Amino acid sequence: MTAYSTLRFDAARCTGCGDCMTACAVAKTGSDDPGRSRLRVLPGNTPGTWEAAVCRQCGDPRCVSFCPAAALAKDPETGTVEWDGAKCVNCLLCTVGCAYAGIAFDAAAGHVAKCDHCGGNPACAAACGEGALEWMTTARIYNEVGQDEDLFVPGLAGCQGCNTEIVMRHAMRRIGPDCVLATPPGCVPGMGSVGYNGMTGTKVPVFHPLLTNAASMLAGVRRAHKRQGRDVLAVALAGDGGASDVGFQSLSGAAERGEEILFIVIDNEGYMNTGMQRSSCTPFGAWTSTTPVGERGRGKTQDAKNLPLIMVMHECDYVATASTAFMEDFYAKLDRAIAAARHGFAYLHVYSPCTTGWRFPAEKNIEVARRAVECNFVTLWEFTPEAGLRFTRDPDRPRPLADYLSALGKFRHLGADQVGHLERHLAENVKRLRGLAREPAAA
């Protein structure tokens, strides 16, 4: 089943101000009468809470099946249920079919009206000052990239629900076959991408560098092809340990020299392939197999190294952070990173929740990735030397950190003092980034 972009309503953030309804009315009718909005924010069952009544753009829409005139139809491209005024016979049967109050009679207009997502740029979400309404664009990207060739074999041996495999497959779909791929030891080759005993798991030239030298080897690969007049993209899919710890020297050296490399770090906050040991990207307080919890041990006692920010200080041609919960953002950055890697060092840091090492159910992976961003545990931004640093998602009004920490077994033991430390650290991090940012976050 195809997934589509959609409106997301977060009741916990809604204050009932009604700005969304006014914006909808203006956008759709020209009137600022919130009564004409196609979205209704209504008091919830509990006093002080709010609910949103709006078209769900159902997969199997009842309004469509109830309509005797074929005036309603689900657009297979956008997923939006579209109303066609030329066919409508004003029987209102659609309003009977919908259980969500997603389509209603607009007396002033004289016909039914429903949300059409404003063609992919909904006015309500833009008007919401609380972040309660958001346009979630994740889905469309799958429709766009679905036709790109998957450059890994089926059945890579990642853990169930592995986020790293998602990053690998999407990144390589976009990069395409005219490249050389380095996968330093870790989960990426561990799941079989380079292969075993004479067989390979990848359709492009792929190799095991050492844990220490992916950036150096790729520098040689890129330069040798360039000498031969060929533009072969040099790509690394590296873990955080190989990049931030033992591989950091070669990474820093290649970045300083401006080697033409696309270096993608898949950050699962530790040596997960080797048995979930601590790396310098492991966050404060986290359980790992080398920062165990016991009588005295309370997890890692140091904050994570901020590797992407360190790469910014190298003045790389492109640096960005990304998350698989925000795929359009990820793809947009991937495109810019690919372009940058043809003239300089491009660095992409993708956060990759690890179901095995972080101790949460496999099906929660994208949810964990999303909460990490919503709680500012992970911030999404990009940097170029020309434009400076820019948030691609506003870090204002984060969700409570507890929403993220409570989802993960590796933080189960945290005391209030440790949570407080993390909160202060994350706030400092946002403050530091904001100090570097030259322009406000993208809308």
Partner 1 sequence: MSGAGPLSPTVPASHPEKRGLLRMTPSLRPGEADMAAVLEKKKPKVIVCDGNEAAAWGVSLANVDMVAVYPITPQSSLVEYVAKFVADGRLKADIVDVEGEHSVLSVLQGGMLAGARTYTATCGPGLAFMFEPYLRTPGLRMPMVMSIVTRDTLSPQSVWGGHQDAMSVREAGWIQLYCETVQEVLDTVVMAYRIAEHHDVMLPVNVCHDGNYLSYGASRVELPEQADVDAFLGAKDVNWHVALDPTRPMGVDPLTGGAGGPGPRMFVKYRKGQCRGMQNALAVIEEAHAEWNRHVGRWHAPLIEPYRMEDARFALVTLGSMTGAAKDAVDEARGAGVSVGLVKVKTYRPFPLKAIAAALAPVEAVGVIDRSVDFGFDCGPLYKDVLGALAGLPRRIPARSFIGGLAGADITVGHVQRVIGEVAELAASGTPGPTAWLNERD
The binding site for partner 1 (CB under 8 A) comprises 177-180, 189, 194-210, 212-213, 216-225, 227-228, 232, 249-250, 252-254, 256-257
Q: 203 vs 425, which CB is nearer to partner 1?
A: 203
Q: 199 vs 416, which CB is nearer to partner 1?
A: 199
In the complex, least distance from residue 414 CB atom to partner 1, rounded to whole angstroms: 37
Q: 202 vs 324, which CB is nearer to partner 1?
A: 202
Please give the Cα distance from 152 to 20 (Å, whole number).
44
In the complex, least distance from residue 164 CB atom to partner 1, rounded to whole angstroms: 18
In the complex, least distance from residue 185 CB atom to partner 1, rounded to whole angstroms: 10
Q: What is the 3-state secondary structure (H, E, C) of 381-403?
A: EEEECCCEEEECCCCCCCCCHHH
Residue 293 structure tokens: 């919890």
In the complex, least distance from residue 198 CB atom to partner 1, rounded to whole angstroms: 6
Pairing verdict, β 233-239 and 179-182:
parallel
Pairing verdict, β 40-43 and 50-53:
antiparallel
Q: 28 vs 222, which CB is nearer to partner 1?
A: 222
Question: Within its chain, how far is the Cα of 292 from the centroid?
Answer: 29
CB-CB contact of 248 with 149 (8 Å): no
- Sequence letter at residue 61: P
Q: 260 vs 329, which CB is nearer to partner 1?
A: 260
In the complex, least distance from residue 357 CB atom to partner 1, rounded to whole angstroms: 21
Q: 70 vs 224, which CB is nearer to partner 1?
A: 224
Please give the Cα distance from 348 to 321 (Å, whole number).
6
Instruction: Choose among 413, 402, 353: nearest CA to 375.
Output: 402
In the complex, least distance from residue 203 CB atom to partner 1, rounded to whole angstroms: 6
Q: Would you say how long the chain is, in residues?
A: 443
Distances (CA, A) of 355 to 103, 268, 366, 398: 40, 10, 10, 23
Please give the Cα distance from 24 to 43 (Å, whole number).
19
Residue 192 structure tokens: 């079989």
In the complex, least distance from residue 333 CB atom to partner 1, rounded to whole angstroms: 24
Q: 141 vs 156, which CB is nearer to partner 1?
A: 156
CB-CB contact of 3 with 137 (8 Å): no
In the complex, least distance from residue 273 CB atom to partner 1, rounded to whole angstroms: 12
What is the Cα gyration radius of the chain?
A: 24
Instruction: Choose among 405, 373, 350: nearest CA to 187.
Output: 350
Q: 249 vs 406, which CB is nearer to partner 1?
A: 249
Please give the Cα distance from 394 to 319 (Å, whole number).
18
Other C-beta atoms within 10 Å of 412: how many? Answer: 12
Q: Which helix (H) or strand (E) holds 8?
A: strand 6-9
In the complex, least distance from residue 206 CB atom to partner 1, rounded to whole angstroms: 5
Q: 22 vs 164, which CB is nearer to partner 1?
A: 164
